[in-house]
Amino acid sequence: MRDAILAASAKEREGALARLQQGRERSVELMDQAGRLTDDASRAQAFDRVKALSAADQKATDDIVQLVRNAPLGQDGALLMFLRESVVQPSNQVGSAMSELTSAFEAH
């Protein structure tokens, strides 16, 4: 979402929104897979809670995506420059590290 808000062109914005959608679809897929492997009642309850809360989260995400699509593209001010130069890469690196951590747990 951050990348879509910071986008300097329509192409960048649509690419960011497409990545957002792919990530959400992958999250749902992984949750479904993990849920099918659950043989414990408390874990099953936890998965059910996540599914129940996910509907409201998806609605909020859909709403903000629509707002982002209709918003003017970002202006190159000091704040956006700082976000692009100083916030985006560390945040992406943390996301990648979290994915690697998840993969390490899935492998065992």
Orientation angle between helical segments 41-70 and 10-37, nearest 10 degrees: 170
| CA-to-CA dists, residue 30 to 9, 60, 98, 106, angstroms | 32, 21, 14, 11
In angstroms, how far is the first alpha carbon of the chain from the final one?
32
All structural domains of the chain with their residue ranges: 1-74, 75-108
What backbone torsions phi and psi does residue 39 show, to the nearest 5 degrees?
-120, 15
Give the model confidence (pLDDT) of 18-46 as tens digits.
999 999 898 888 888 877 877 878 777 88
- Please give the pLDDT value at position 108: 66
Give the model confidence (pLDDT) of 45-91 as tens digits.
887 888 888 888 888 888 888 888 888 886 666 666 776 777 777 77
CA 59/CA 96 separation, integer angstroms: 26
